[in-house]
Amino acid sequence: MGQFQVPFSISQIINKIDLNLLLLPAIQREFVWEHTQIELLFDSLMRGYPIGSRLFWGGMGENKTSHRYYSILKKFRAKYDTHCQEFNTNQHSDFEAILDGQQRLTALYVGLKGTYAYKKPRVNWKNNEHSLPTRSLFLNIKELAPQDETSGEVSEDGRVYDFQFLSKEDLDKCNKNDWFEVGKILDLQSFSSLKNYLKDTGLDENDFAMDTLEKLHASIFENRINYYLEDSQDYNKALNIFIRVNSGGEKLSYSDLIMSTTIAGWKKKDARQEFNNLINEVWSQYGFDIDKDFILRTYLMLFCNDIKFRVTNFSIENAIEFEENWDHIRESIITAFHLINDFGYIEDTLTSKNAVLPIAYYIYKSEKDLKYCDKVQYKDDQSEIKKWVHAVLLHRIFGGQAESLLKIIRDTLESELKVNSEKFPAKQIAQRLSKTRKSITVDDEFIENLLYTRYGDRYSFPILALLYPHLDYKNRDFHKDHVHPCSVFTKAKLKKYGITPKGDEDCYYSDKNMYDSVINLQMLDSNMNKSKNDMMLEDWVKQEKVDLQKQLIPNILNLKEFEKYVDARFELLKQKLTELLTF
């Protein structure tokens, strides 16, 4: 039986975390809060709002050393440092495990004693201070948060007190005396020490600053947080309690709960660490950002009839089966993304990772190994997979609820691989999908819409990759290029070339759907792209002796005949894409 305990102050909880008296069981998920959520949590504390009771697990007996536990994350660094560190409890039996309240307790610690680094806008992801500056939580002691312009009452997100995560660079741009580093309040434990601080800094003459810091002090040292201590030694009971109290949470998804069951069921391997290692490897090797949901879905595809995230259809027995087959599952996922990378896709152009799940399933069930991507004997098989990936992404079939569609594809793969395990059954999948609302059959309207896809559209890559299959996508030797230079389609440039379009002809020269779409795009290798540069089409073809048939360019090269060129290339590409996308 459990019971409510004597409430803690926030400062006491922070101290318990520092002493590792509060740890996270492996069933807990990663920290997922945005920096703004932490800021709003502290605003709630200042305004006296309740932040709920916590649920801890004590009296664990042998569970304290027979299961894995983690210390609370103290320094969050987006994408690069988001994992809690495992804590060895062999010589550390005096602790309690957090079953409910992990996110808020972590947020409190990060705000008071930790740091939070998130990416600056308009910079690339790099693990450095320029891209992700380290930030600490500060409180504005000059004034309240900026008011909302429409209501004139509180800020847009509802905060009253202006808490912000600021970097050193941010502080240099403002008056440092207006901002108080929130964690410093922990050094002022007694009210008298706070009074002395206010006097020493001259803030006792600033009513707003004094009132604000006194309120912060009370929030951290005087306000109490209730907590309930479950003292059962049954680990499965603790797991069930965790699932029950968390399944109603808005942010905690069913996949989080399934992950908790997975972690509880793995005995030889650390599921959390294995997942993190795989996620990091796929990112570092191939540049694709996957998550635990993708990995869990792969297992469900492979071993469960129902592939939906349901707590009721994922048991400890499933978790044991998952661990037993983990190495093979892991290799199948890595090989699938290796293959997608070889096709020329990057994170931005792979518009749905659901398209990779059937490939991972195929690789696993047909017992392909990590060398599959490099074996010449599988060249035709890989070409078929590539065509299928291009097709399903262009048809955008995975939008919305994808589980039922993935099950149809999985069931088709399962039956076809019993007949031939050496060939990806793209045609059979297409035939099966033709009986659903997610058909990948083509008609004139679909193909014509593809041709109007613009240069900067993510879907332009699979279209051009289909049209120019001979390029070295594996080694990234391909470049998207305008056939007629895009830069010439201005009135001034056209006039320079003696072109003054009128009437219907004008729309061809002024409409970006004509000169900045697939109709006027091609894919080139690096040598051809370098020679083309911004050269006029007619000059480039003559100088480089370009194979017009290979480049899918009609023999209408002069810019003055752009209208005829567009009409001819439209029909040429329409016919070609129809052939390529028909299974």
Q: Do residue 161 and residue 80 come from a single domain?
A: yes
Domain that residue 221 falls in: 3-228
Nearest to 164 by CA among 10, 81, 40, 44: 40
d(C-alpha 356, C-alpha 331), whole Å: 14
Backbone φ and ψ for 77, nearest 5 degrees, come out as -135, 105
Higher pLDDT among residues 92 and 583, named by residue: 583
Would you tell me how many other CB atoms lie within 10 Å of the CB of residue 400? Answer: 10
Q: Do residue 188 and residue 330 come from a single domain?
A: no
Q: What is the mean pLDDT of the chain?
A: 89
Give the tens place of pLDDT for each residue, 67-95: 778 899 999 999 888 888 888 888 776 78
Residue 203 placed within a domain: yes
Neighbouring-strand partners of residue 163:
139
Q: Do residue 72 and residue 215 come from a single domain?
A: yes
Q: Do residue 286 and residue 434 come from a single domain?
A: yes
pLDDT of 240 reads 67
Q: Do residue 423 and residue 467 come from a single domain?
A: no
Find the angle CA(366)-CA(369)-CA(375) to the nearest 5 degrees: 100
Q: Do residue 512 and residue 424 come from a single domain?
A: no
Mean pLDDT on 194-219: 92
Share of the chain above pLDDT 90, in %: 65
Residue 248 placed within a domain: no
Give the tens place of pLDDT for each residue, 140-151: 999 998 876 555
Q: Do residue 472 and residue 434 come from a single domain?
A: no
Task: Identify the weakest region by mean pLDDT among 125-129, 343-347, 398-402, 512-516.
Answer: 398-402
d(C-alpha 402, C-alpha 79), whole Å: 26
Task: Flag whether pLDDT at 125 surpasses 70.
Answer: yes
Residue 269 placed within a domain: yes
Q: How far is CA 268 from the centre of its chain?
A: 29
Which secondary structure element, helix H or strand E, spans residue 23, and what is its range? strand 22-25
Residue 132 placed within a domain: yes
DSSP, res 517: B
pLDDT of 145 reads 87
d(C-alpha 36, C-alpha 30), whole Å: 17
What the block records as the tokens of 261 is 């069951």
The DSSP string of 130-176 is TTS---EEEEESSSPPPPPTTTSSS-TTS-SS-EEEE-HHHHHTS-G
Residue 211 placed within a domain: yes
pLDDT of 472 reads 94
Mean pLDDT on 311-338: 91
Nearest to 533 by CA among 461, 575, 495, 479: 479
Which secondary structure element, helix H or strand E, spans residue 379, and what is its range? helix 379-395
Residue 233 placed within a domain: no
Domain boundary pick from 391, 410, 441? 441
d(C-alpha 60, C-alpha 134), whole Å: 37
Q: Do residue 209 and residue 149 come from a single domain?
A: yes
Task: Flag whether pLDDT at 382 surpasses 80.
Answer: yes
pLDDT of 249 reads 44
Looking at residue 538, its amino acid is E
Q: Find which of 20-34, 235-249, 526-540 is predicted with most confidence, using mean pLDDT.
A: 526-540
Task: Flag whether pLDDT at 28 surpasses 90.
Answer: no
pLDDT of 66 reads 65
Q: Do residue 219 and residue 159 come from a single domain?
A: yes
Task: Judge contact between 267 and 35, C-beta under 8 A.
Answer: no
Find the angle CA(569)-CA(391)-CA(583) to the nearest 5 degrees: 90
DSSP, res 518: G
Q: Find which of 48-52, 173-177, 536-540 is predicted with most confidence, using mean pLDDT.
A: 536-540
131 exposure class (CB count in 10 Å sphere: 0-12, 13-18, 19+) = middle
Task: Judge contact between 30 and 208, C-beta under 8 A.
Answer: no
d(C-alpha 422, C-alpha 568), whole Å: 40
Q: Do residue 393 and residue 510 come from a single domain?
A: no
Cα atoms in the Cβ-side hemisphere of radius 13 Å centred on 59: 12
Task: Judge contact between 42 and 181, C-beta under 8 A.
Answer: no
d(C-alpha 450, C-alpha 518), whole Å: 8
pLDDT of 79 reads 85
What the block records as the tokens of 196 is 């002395």
Higher pLDDT among residues 284 and 58, named by residue: 284
d(C-alpha 449, C-alpha 518), whole Å: 10
Helices (H), 287-378: 292-303, 316-324, 326-342, 357-365
Mean pLDDT on 163-173: 94
Task: Flag whether pLDDT at 247 surpasses 60.
Answer: no
Kindly list the distances between the CA atom of residue 300 and the CA atoms of 408, 410, 522, in Å, as whole numbers in the listed order: 13, 10, 40
pLDDT of 578 reads 96
Higher pLDDT among residues 550 and 244, named by residue: 550
What the block records as the tokens of 370 is 């990590």
Q: Do residue 521 and residue 543 come from a single domain?
A: yes
Q: Do residue 135 and residue 198 come from a single domain?
A: yes
pLDDT band at 258 (very low <50, low <70, confident <90, very high): confident
Task: Flag whether pLDDT at 119 surpasses 80.
Answer: yes
What the block records as the tokens of 310 is 């349901």
Helix/strand/coil for 400: coil
Task: Flag whether pLDDT at 250 surpasses 70.
Answer: no
Nearest to 96 by CA among 25, 28, 18, 26: 25
Task: Flag whether pLDDT at 251 surpasses 60.
Answer: no
Residue 397 placed within a domain: yes
Number of domains in the chain: 3
Residue 449 placed within a domain: no
Share of the chain above pLDDT 70, in %: 91
Domain boundary pick from 384, 406, 441? 441
